[in-house]
Every structure is written in C-alpha cells, then in structure tokens.
C-alpha cells in the first residue's frame, strides 16, 4: 500500500494528518495497523480507531498472533478505552509464558472488565469520600500545588474501570468545592525545594516536568527508580525478543522460587585490565539497579581467558567497585563453572548443536569465511575429538568447538571452546580448553539466576545467541537489556595503549591523574559520588554517548563545592613585609571552612609581619580594569581584616627580579573598600603541587583521521607541571585523598606520594570550567 493511501486510512482512524505521517515512519506500528485494518472495515465506531492505534503501538512481537482477536474486541466496543486495551495486552502477554497457550475468552473478558459500567454517581461518591477523608488536610495546606494524580490513583484502586476523563473532572469539581477559585499564590511556582521529599510521587508538578526533559537524573538511585523501565523478575517472557519454549513457564517458576522474586544483576569485568570511566557506568547501572530495587548484584570476574589475567587486576577491580560505594552480594568467577560449562558443551554435541571444527583462525577471518567442512560430522566423532581436546591430545589452534548457530550480524557458528596450553590462575593445570565469551556469558548468568543481564549495545547482536544457548540447554534464560556505551573524549582507555604511554614515560603509571582509569580519577581527587552522579546524568538510554571531560569535571565541582573545605594557598609566592604590622607578634585567626556556610566549622591560620601573596596578584604596570595590588592600588587580604598598599618594591640587584614588597597596612574598617581580596599565607609550609592539563590535543586520539600519526604523536607538551607552593601550617596533618578548595585557585586533593613532611597535592579541577583550558 502506498504511503498516501495509508495516511488517508490512518486519518480515518481519527489521527491528524501530522500524526498519520509520523506514524508512517514507525515501521512496526504501521505494520500492525495495516494488519488491523485488514481485519476490519472502515468506518469504525467512534473512538475505536484511536484504540486500534493505541493497541498497534503497544503490541509486542510475542503476542502479534493475537492481533485479530484484539481488533475484534476493539471494534465490538468490548475494549472501549485504553485501560481495557492495556489490560487485554497485559493478559495476553502473561499468557505468552506458556508456549502455544490458548486464550480463555471468559477470563480475558473478566481481566479487562468487559461490560463493567461505572456510573458517574459511583465516581462522585468515591471521589468525595477520598477528598473529604484522607486528603482534606494536605489539600488545604498545599492547595492547588497538590498533585491530584494521587487521588486519582486511589479512586482507581476501588473503581478499576472508571473512565479517566469523568474521574478527572469529578476530582476537579470536588477540589474546587473545597478550595474555591485559585488565588495568586496558587499560580506562582513553588520555591525550589532544597531537601528531597520523602515520597517521590509527592513532588510538585513543576519539578516532575523538569526531570522528564532529559534521560538522565541527578543520582543513580533516582535514575533507576524513575527513568529505567525494565521487566519485573519472572516476567522475562514479556520482553521484546524473548523466546518462549515449552519449558519456559516451569523454568521461570523455579527461577522465582530460587530468587524469591529478587532483582539480581551482575557486573562481569574481564580481569585483564584496569577499570576506566566507561566501566563506572556499567558498575553504576548494575549495582544501582539492584540497589534501587532491593536486589543483589554479583561481582563476577569473567576469567575465561587465562592469557591475560593477573592477580593484581582482580584486587584492583574489587577496590574500585568498593570505592564507588558498592558492595557485591557475592564475588564469583566464571571459572568456577568450568566443569558445568564443559558438561553442557557435551550435551550440545549430543544434541547435534555443536561440533568440533579444524578450520584455522586465519581461515575464519574476514566477512565471508568458508563454511566448515566438519559441520555435519557424526556426533560420536565430535564427542571423541572434544574429549581429546580436553585431554591435551590436540595442538593449540588445531581444533575448536563451534555452535551450530548464525548470529544476527551474519557470523556463522561461533566458537565455544578453544585450546590454550596456558595455566589458569584459579584452575591451574586442570584445563587446556577454555570457553569463549559468547558461550560462557549467558550460561553463567543463568547459573547465577540473573534477572537483568545488562550490557552495552554492541552485544545486542549476541542477544539471540544468548537466548538460543539457554534454550538449547533447557535452562533458565535471563533477559538481556542493552544500554549505550559511555565514551570519554580526549581519553584513552585501551590497556595496551596505556601500557605504551607508561613505557614511553609519557605518564607515570596506571593511576597517573591525566588518565581516565578509575584509579587515576581517584588519585586526581574525583569523589566517587561525583562519578556516580555523572553516570546518572548520562542516563541509561540505548544511544552511545561521547562526552567531554568537562561534563565530568562539572559533576566533580558540584560535589566538591559543598564538601571541600576552603584553604588559603599561594602557588607562586611573592614575599610581602608589612611595615606597620598592627600586632606584636604572629596572631592566629579563626577562619570558616565554608565561608557561605559558617556553621560547618572553622580552622586556624597564622598572620605575621611577613607574608606571601600570589606573584600574579601584583603588577607594577597594571592594565586597565586591573583590580588587585599595584604600586598605585591597594588590595585586601582575605580573612585577615587588612588592606595593604605598596611602599617599596625590592629587587634582586643582579637580575632585577622583584624579590619582595614592603607594604603598609590598614585595618579593613579604616581603609577604603579595596577592589579585591587576595589569598596569602604567613609562616608557610611547603607543598608540592601538581597541575594537570589534558593529555591529548584531539578529541579522539586513536582515530587515524583525526590523528594520522597515532596517539603517541598527539601528546600535549606540558600536560603536567609541578610547583612548590606555600600553604598555611593548618595543612600539615593532611591525609591522602583529603580534598580542599584552594581559594581563588581550584580544587585539590592529597596525592598518595605524600609522606611525612613532604606533602603533595594534585589539582582536581579548576574553579571554573575554562580555568583548566588554554
């Protein structure tokens, strides 16, 4: 049918032309609608057209076969509102758990409330009862800011099939009765709430509207509760593409029994490298989703490839998960299941679903590898050869076990096992055949009774093989959900390439703060909370996201702003002697940790006749608009209550460099209000301060189009500089990872290199976004 014709037909269903055109763009809905139209004759009874559209857009592939029944019921007005249509869809979907189940019409009608009529009087009665009962007080208090949706829901509980429109107007009438016309105050938006309300759905409409604009949320918990719509445990069959077999119903029942209906997720890193910012998203989604639903999340080391695994990676991964604030319900290893996986492989061979192949790895490369000449070999033969593989009788590379299955992307017969004469760090010399990711992953998920197998979009094409394998073995089949990968611009995450940076002495180690590994971010001073919030802001959509580090830095600032106490530090000190120092000796001043929030504590700093200011805060020949110290212009000393003016500039007799300023001071009350206040220190201690800049010049240093010379040619010259700064003595006892805002400079964190008197700080981020650039 031509597009034009369809648009006309769609309009006859009650759509606007615009809507009809939009609908046409959605192939799935269009197909369903076409099928629906084929089932019936136009014109349709009033409203049925849009219900057909509603049904067509919500119909899942599992129950596509039930379309004629649905159309019939809609046209006959048995399903006469969206609520009933939704109920019918839900009922049929639930039925789909059983393979080839027949529809019990009576039950369907009961579930959908076919023929149930709710009179306006009934609605009025219940609405009155609710509003005059439990809601009266809160309504009188919050008036029209109260979200009446809550009342609607409660009425619905009692009058399931009440018409939405009548219900809404009945509530509006009752509220009007109670409160009278809206006052001016009712029309104003509410002031922003500072604290979160205990009940999420009691939030103001204003707030709710703001949140729906993006896919992200402020925190992971919020994201997982409000933005993510995965299936409920045990309702696997309701998801798109889930394959129902005759065992599904029983398996799901057993699964629910085993888990008690608990949400179970897992974070399954390969222990062959260091975690980076991309992993933070996976950690947050898996642990966060489980936490938000009172579920459990496993940390599973996917250690099926013995070649690259090292003990240190295991420890580092766990440490990073814990650093991000998550606790695995259990730590598991794919290798724990080697025997089970092997036994299942034998089952697959016996079912003629897998075979031993001798094609070489080279032969299988490229787009159109030749089909395996061993595909149809006798089962017996494969069994013997597979046993030979296990017993070390066959050379590495001379045989693999392959599954009889074609992946969506066209890859034929993926490899399930390969021979590697390498000891495994956990199983030692027990095995010389190791399972592949494709084979292991879904089976381990099944063993662990995972409810939601969350993975990145690249694995979408493996979903059918995932389901195929579980079903081939008649074991519980989890649901795979995909989300888009998080890529960080200007960052390099490949393990091999980072290693290269280290051996080339471009960075110092895996946790060099210029990198985007999680250890590097921690060392640089990024709070875990900020990383988590950043992930929450990115959301759990299917789109692959590439963001600039600035986004992450902004999240870091948000957290540090309210958590990092302020300190006075000068990075490049210039000595200042106050000629008329008002005190006899050094004095201690009490200074607030957070000047905007004095109740959050204070610390003491020392003021003396000799002090140091930032060299850049003095200019002999100031340009126009310059606000700080110059021979002609005085400046305030922050927190000291003094304003200083230059009396004399002392120079090095040889170089002519300025070495000291002799200044006079006035108390702040006496002096004219200076244009600016600067930070200073007296009787300072020395700090080593490391400043970091972006390591790479280009967004995608690995992209040969952007950087033809390879990532090593893209290194910025001065990505790290070291300064010897002066700080007040109050910083003497800092501990590693303590974080501060150095006033007017930026946020800094104590580096692990700190020992005893030698204190090292890393600059985490500048105070403003552009501070770190140019």
Partner 1 sequence: MSTGLITELNKLNSLERVAKELHTKVQYSTRKELSPYVEGDDTVVKLLNENAKLKHRLAIINQAIADEKKNMSPETDSDNTLLIMDHLEKIFSAAIAEAYPLYSKTPVIIAAVNNVSAKFGDYQCNNAMGLAKKMKEAGISISPRDIATEIKRCCPASPLIDKIEVAGAGFVNVFLSKQHAVSALTTMLRDGISPPNVPKKRILVDFSSPNIAKQMHVGHLRSTIIGESICRLLEFLQHDVLRINHLGDWGTQFGMLIAHLEDRFPNFINESPPIGDLQAFYKESKKRFDDDEHFKKRAYQHVVTLQAGDPKSIKAWQLICDVSRQEFQKIYNRLDVTIEERGESFYQSRMLSVVEFLRSKNLLEHDDGREIMWPNVNKTGIPLTIVKSDGGFTYDTSDMAAIRHRIEEECVNWIIYVVDSGQSTHFNSIFEAAQRCGIANPNEHRIDHVQFGVVLGEDGKKFKTRSGDTVKLSDLLDEGMKCSLKQLQDRGRDQILTPQELSDAQESVAYGCIKYADLCHNRISDYVFSFEKMLDDRGNTAVYLLYTYSRICSIARSSGEDFSNPAKILDAFNIVLDHEKEWKLAKTLLKFFDIIIKCSSGLYLHFLCEFCYEVCTAFTEFYDSCYCIEKDKTGKIVKVNHSRILLCEATAAVLRQCFKILGLKPVAKI
Residues that bind partner 1 (CB under 8 A): 390-393, 396, 421-423, 429-432, 505, 508, 572, 688, 721-724
Q: Given 3-state DSSP classes, what are the helix, strand and coil percentages for the chain, each rounded to the nearest 5?
A: 40, 20, 40
Strands (E), 495-586: 545-547, 566-567, 569-570, 573-578
Rounded to the nearest whole angstrom, what is the least distance from the CB of residue 276 to partner 1 in the complex? Answer: 22
Nearest CB to partner 1, comparing residues 551 and 720: 720
Cis bond leading into 632, ω under 30°? no
Residue placing its CB nearer to partner 1 in the complex, 258 or 423: 423
Nearer to partner 1, 249 or 660 (CB): 660
Query: H helices of 120-247, where?
Result: 120-132, 136-142, 149-158, 164-179, 184-187, 205-212, 220-226
Closest distance of CB 423 from partner 1, Å: 5
Q: Which of 156, 225, 420, 495 is catalytic?
A: 495
- Distance CA(151)–CA(161), nearest Å, equals 15
Q: Does the annotation count 121 as an active-site position?
A: no
Residue 57 or 686: which CB sits closer to partner 1?
Answer: 686
Residue 649 vs 724, nearer CB to partner 1? 724
Containing 384, the helix (H) or strand (E) segment is helix 379-390
Provide the CB-side half-sphere exposure for 173 (13 A, CA).
12
Give the position of tokens 């009961």. 110
The answer to whether residue 94 is catalytic is: no
CA distance 307 to 420: 8
What's the DSSP call for residue 401? E
Q: How many whole angstroms separate alpha carbon 284 and alpha carbon 278?
A: 10
Query: CB burial class (10 A; 0-12, 13-18, 19+) of residue 416?
Result: buried
Q: How many angstroms separate the first and last alpha carbons of the chain? A: 59
Catalytic residue among 485, 615, 675, 699: 485
What is the smallest separation between the CB atom of 522 and partner 1, expressed in angstroms?
Answer: 21
- Compute the half-sphere exposure of residue 628: CA atoms within 13 Å on the CB side of its CA: 15
Min CB(688)–partner 1 separation in Å: 7
- 418/639 with CB nearer partner 1: 418
- Closest to 281 measured CA to CA, from 529, 531, 515, 519: 531
User: Is there a contact between 15 and 53 (Cβ–Cβ < 8 Å)?
Assistant: yes
Closest CB to partner 1 among residues 705, 755:
755
Q: Choose, from 39, 205, 249, 270, the residue flagged as catalytic.
A: 270
Cα separation, 540 vs 285, whole angstroms: 8
- The CB-of-572 to partner 1 minimum distance in angstroms stands at 6
- Other Cβ atoms less than 10 A from the Cβ of 514: the count is 23
Question: Rounded distance, CA 124 to CA 155, Å?
Answer: 10
For the question of residue 495 being annotated catalytic, the response is yes
- Are β-strands 330-333 and 602-607 bridged in parallel, bridged antiparallel, or unpaired? unpaired
Which of the 8 DSSP states describes residue 396? T
Give which of 170, 78, 164 is closest to 116, Cα–Cα: 78
Tell me the three state secondary structure of residue 276: strand
In contact, 436 and 418? CB cutoff 8 Å? yes
State how far the Cα of 542 lies from the Cα of 215, in Å rounded to an integer: 11
Which CB atom, from 390 or from 524, has the smaller least distance to partner 1? 390
Distance in Å, CB of 613 to partner 1, minimum: 14
Report d(CA 405, CA 384) in Å as an integer: 21
- Is the CB of 212 or the CB of 503 nearer to partner 1? 503
The residues annotated with a catalytic role in the active site are 270, 485, 495
């Amino acid at each position: 049918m031509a597009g034009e014709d369809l648009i006309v037909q769609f309009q006859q269903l009650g759509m606007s032309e615009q809507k009809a055109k939009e609908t046409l763009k959605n192939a799935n809905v269009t197909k369903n609608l076409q099928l629906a139209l084929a089932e019936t004759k136009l014109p349709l009874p009033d409203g049925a057209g849009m219900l057909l559209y509603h049904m067509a857009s919500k119909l899942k592939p599992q129950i596509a076969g039930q379309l004629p029944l649905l159309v019939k019921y809609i046209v006959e007005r048995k399903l006469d509102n969206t609520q009933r249509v939704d109920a019918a869809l839900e009922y049929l979907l639930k039925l789909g758990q059983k393979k080839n189940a027949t529809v019990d019409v009576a039950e369907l009608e009961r579930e959908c409330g076919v023929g149930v009529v709710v009179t306006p009087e009934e609605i009025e009665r219940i609405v009155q009862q609710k509003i005059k009962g439990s809601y009266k007080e809160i309504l009188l208090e919050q008036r029209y800011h109260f979200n009446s949706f809550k009342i609607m829901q409660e009425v619905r509980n009692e009058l399931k099939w009440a018409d939405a429109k009548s219900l809404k107007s009945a509530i509006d009438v009752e509220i009007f009765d109670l409160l009278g016309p809206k006052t001016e105050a009712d029309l104003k938006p509410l002031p922003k709430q500072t604290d979160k309300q205990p009940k999420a759905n009691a939030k103001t409409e204003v707030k709710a509207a703001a949140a729906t604009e993006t896919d992200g949320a402020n925190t992971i918990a919020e994201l997982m509760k409000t933005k993510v719509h995965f299936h409920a445990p045990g309702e696997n069959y309701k998801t798109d593409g889930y394959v129902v077999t005759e065992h599904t119903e029983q398996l799901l029942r057993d699964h629910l029994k085993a888990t008690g209906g608990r949400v179970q997720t897992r974070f399954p890193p390969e222990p062959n490298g260091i975690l980076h910012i991309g992993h933070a998203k996976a950690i947050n989604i898996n642990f966060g989703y489980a936490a938000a639903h009172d579920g459990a999340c496993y940390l599973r080391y996917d250690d099926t490839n013995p070649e690259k695994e090292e003990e240190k990676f295991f420890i580092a991964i766990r440490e990073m998960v814990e650093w991000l604030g998550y606790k695995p319900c259990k730590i598991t290893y794919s290798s724990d299941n080697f025997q089970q996986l092997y036994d299942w492989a034998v089952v697959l061979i016996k079912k003629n679903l897998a075979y031993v192949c001798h094609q070489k790895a080279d032969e299988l490369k490229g787009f159109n590898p030749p089909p395996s000449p061993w595909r149809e070999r006798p089962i017996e033969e494969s069994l013997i050869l597979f046993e030979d593989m296990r017993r070390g009788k066959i050379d590495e590379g001379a045989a693999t076990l392959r599954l009889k299955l074609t992946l969506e992307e066209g890859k034929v017969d993926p490899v399930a096992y390969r021979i590697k004469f390498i000891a495994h760090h956990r199983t030692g010399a027990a095995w010389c055949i190791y399972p592949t990711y494709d084979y292991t992953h879904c089976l381990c998920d099944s063993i662990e009774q995972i409810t939601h197998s969350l993975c990145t979009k690249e694995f979408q094409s493996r979903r059918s093989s995932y389901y195929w394998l579980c079903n081939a073995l008649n074991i519980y089949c989890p649901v795979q959900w995909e989300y888009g990968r998080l890529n960080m611009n200007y960052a390099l995450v490949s393990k091999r390439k980072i290693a290269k940076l280290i051996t080339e002495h471009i960075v110092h180690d895996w946790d060099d703060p210029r990198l985007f590994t999680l250890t590097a971010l921690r060392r640089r001073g990024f709070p875990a909370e900020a990383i988590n919030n950043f992930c929450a802001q990115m959301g759990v959509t299917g789109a692959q996201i590439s963001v600039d580090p600035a986004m992450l830095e902004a999240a870091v600032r948000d957290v540090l702003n309210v958590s990092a106490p302020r300190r006075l530090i000068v990075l490049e000190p210039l000595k200042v002697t106050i000629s008329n120092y008002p005190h006899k000796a050094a004095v201690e001043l009490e200074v607030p940790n957070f000047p905007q929030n004095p109740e959050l504590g204070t610390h003491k700093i020392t003021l003396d006749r000799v002090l140091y200011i930032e060299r850049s805060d003095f200019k002999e020949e100031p340009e126009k608009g310059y606000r700080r110290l110059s021979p002609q212009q005085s400046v305030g000393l922050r927190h000291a209550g003094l304003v200083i003016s230059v009396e004399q500039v002392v120079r090095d007799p040889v170089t002519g460099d300025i070495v000291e300023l002799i200044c006079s001071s006035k108390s702040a009350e006496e002096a004219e209000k200076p244009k600016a206040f600067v930070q200073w220190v007296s009787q300072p201690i020395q700090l080593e301060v490391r400043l970091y800049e972006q390591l790479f010049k280009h967004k995608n240093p690995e992209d040969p189009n952007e950087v033809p010379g390879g990532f090593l040619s893209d290194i910025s010259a001065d990505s790290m500089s070291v300064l010897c700064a002066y700080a007040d003595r109050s910083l003497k006892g800092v501990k590693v990872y303590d974080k501060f805002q150095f006033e007017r400079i930026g946020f800094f964190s104590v580096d692990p290199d700190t020992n005893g008197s030698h204190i090292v700080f890393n600059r985490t981020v500048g105070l403003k976004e552009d501070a770190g650039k140019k």
